[in-house]
Structure 1
């Protein structure tokens, strides 16, 4: 097996496991009395313990440097609360009030939010392809939220609110850890962030009794923690050693595809034609943002060159 094929399989597998966790959470919310906050608390705490332990065994000096430096620790706490916990909690709330496919797709508005934020922060207009991405994303969001009909909502106000806030949280999750990731191993940073987030949610585990779940319910909780969090993150992270970030960005589309397939086939979730078209348009923005800018420069250059010759 070539390195490129190995990277593709790891990235697609990690994204697929993420998508499966969304469908698993939808089943738990619909069929059991499990609360969103309890599920997020268990997911973050257990995954944080395991990943931090792995980091301590693999790169103990990096973990010590992060927690012993006040500036690094403040950055880590900010990432843990505003990025990690925020994104996890709002995503599952979006799943609860809508469904796994819708929540996962709306989360992919993250690149558009980052584009707008960077344009404001840097006080410069976005690139041409960024403006195109924003327009496509807005059209896709309109179709997804309204079903293509003005004056009506295909989603509840709660689903729209948590879905859009989930996209904002995903953008914060991407932007906040950049200074730490530039200096430290990603496994150590995310493991510690998960652990701190889980500790912050610990009262949800202590105060509330264990939910009364069937064997299937507990297996799904285990899947969300082990495969939907630890394995998916590790696989996706490892894929970057073999393939470019552009390819991993494109392969991340497996997450909403798997979430949609499982929700439709196993959970009976129904999607309208407008919702499907809107979802594809939102995913298209991620594809456009994953392609390196020099490719667009070549396209525009060749297009301009071709027009010059034809005059």
Structure 2
């Protein structure tokens, strides 16, 4: 496969695993009385440890190199505490107060926040097509959380707030690790960030008795940790080696699609036509921005050739 094809494969597979983990989390919270902090802590610690063991076997020298490089280690901490941890925690909180499809769609506001960041960084106003995508995403969010009815929310306010914060966190997760990925293995970057941030939950987990979880709950949690965390983050981060952030954001539309289909089929979650329209508007902004980025790149290439 070409590099771009590998990128497509990794981001689509990672997105589907992440989307399925959202549905699994919704089922887990419905069946078990367990705090979000405990689940996120267990998720980060276990998945991070597994990835670190895998990295230790595959590229042990890189671990030593990273530990010796203070600048890169600080970058790893920044990626962990400003990208990985909030992406996990806010997403799960949104699911807990709402449902997996809505949380996953709201997380998809991340391209909007990436656009804001790049506009501020480059000191440039968004282009017309980008401004349109902002309007579309805001309108879509309004329809999703109100079902088109002014003055009332179709979701718990906490679900909306945590969902929007999940979008901000997803943007950070996409932007922060790019420099690290140019030097280190994806397993080390992802696993190291997960494990280090998971340690922050260790005091809570030690002081809290192991919650009463059903057999199905433990199996669900195992998938959330291994498939929905370790492999989904690994594949998504790996795709950044081959694709630009705008493209990965576009292809990760498989996340809400997977979460919605599974939640409706397996859990009986209802999704109205108005909500579906709002979700479609939000997801379409990713494609609009990807097209905009490609058009801008083509213009830059033409200008460079003319010069």
Give the TM-score normalised by structure 2: 0.88
Per the alignment, residue 308 of structure 1 pairs with none
Point out where structure 2 has 5 or more consecutive residues left out of the alignment.
300-307
CA gap of 1:244–1:70, structure 2 versus 1, over 3 A, is closer
CA gap of 1:292–1:245, structure 2 versus 1, over 3 A, is farther
More moved, 288-297 vs 213-222: 288-297
Corresponding residue pairs, total: 299
In the alignment, does 2:281 pair up with 1:281?
A: yes
Q: Deviations over 1:80-130 (max 9, x none)?
A: 112111110011001101100000000010110111122123321112332
Point out where structure 1 has 5 or more consecutive residues left out of the alignment.
300-311
Per the alignment, residue 267 of structure 1 pairs with 267
More moved, 178-187 vs 265-274: 178-187
* Structure 1 Cα separation of the partners of residues 170 and 287 of structure 2: 17
Larger gyration radius, structure 1 or structure 2? 1
- 1:205-284 equivalent positions in 2, closer than 5 A: 205-237=205-237, 248-284=248-284
Q: Cα offset for 1:240?
A: 6.4
Check whether the contact 2:111–2:249 (CA below 8 A) recurs between aligned residues.
Answer: no
Per the alignment, residue 176 of structure 1 pairs with 176
Check whether the contact 1:245–1:290 (CA below 8 A) recurs between aligned residues.
Answer: no
* Structure 1 Cα separation of the partners of residues 218 and 165 of structure 2: 28
CA gap of 1:165–1:241, structure 2 versus 1, over 3 A, is closer
* Structure 2 Cα separation of the partners of residues 285 and 228 of structure 1: 25
* Structure 1 Cα separation of the partners of residues 200 and 150 of structure 2: 42
- 1:63-102 equivalent positions in 2, closer than 5 A: 63-102=63-102
Per the alignment, residue 306 of structure 1 pairs with none
Per the alignment, residue 193 of structure 1 pairs with 193
Per the alignment, residue 153 of structure 2 pairs with 153
CA gap of 1:234–1:153, structure 2 versus 1, over 3 A, is same
* Structure 2 Cα separation of the partners of residues 172 and 12 of structure 1: 19
RMSD, aligned CA: 2.5
* Structure 2 Cα separation of the partners of residues 296 and 69 of structure 1: 36
CA gap of 1:141–1:246, structure 2 versus 1, over 3 A, is closer
Q: Cα offset for 1:145?
A: 1.6
Per the alignment, residue 104 of structure 2 pairs with 104
* Structure 2 Cα separation of the partners of residues 206 and 14 of structure 1: 31
CA gap of 1:63–1:298, structure 2 versus 1, over 3 A, is closer
Q: Secondary structure at the match of 1:152?
A: coil
Check whether the contact 1:43–1:225 (CA below 8 A) recurs between aligned residues.
Answer: yes
- 1:96-135 equivalent positions in 2, closer than 5 A: 96-135=96-135
Q: Secondary structure at the match of 1:171?
A: helix
CA gap of 1:238–1:161, structure 2 versus 1, over 3 A, is closer
CA gap of 1:51–1:258, structure 2 versus 1, over 3 A, is same
Per the alignment, residue 164 of structure 1 pairs with 164
Q: Cα offset for 1:277?
A: 0.4
* Structure 2 Cα separation of the partners of residues 118 and 127 of structure 1: 12
Per the alignment, residue 136 of structure 1 pairs with 136
Per the alignment, residue 28 of structure 1 pairs with 28
Per the alignment, residue 302 of structure 1 pairs with none
Check whether the contact 1:15–1:255 (CA below 8 A) recurs between aligned residues.
Answer: yes
CA gap of 1:117–1:82, structure 2 versus 1, over 3 A, is same
* Structure 2 Cα separation of the partners of residues 35 and 55 of structure 1: 30
* Structure 2 Cα separation of the partners of residues 240 and 193 of structure 1: 16
* Structure 2 Cα separation of the partners of residues 44 and 124 of structure 1: 37
CA gap of 1:73–1:224, structure 2 versus 1, over 3 A, is same
- 1:54-65 equivalent positions in 2, closer than 5 A: 54-65=54-65
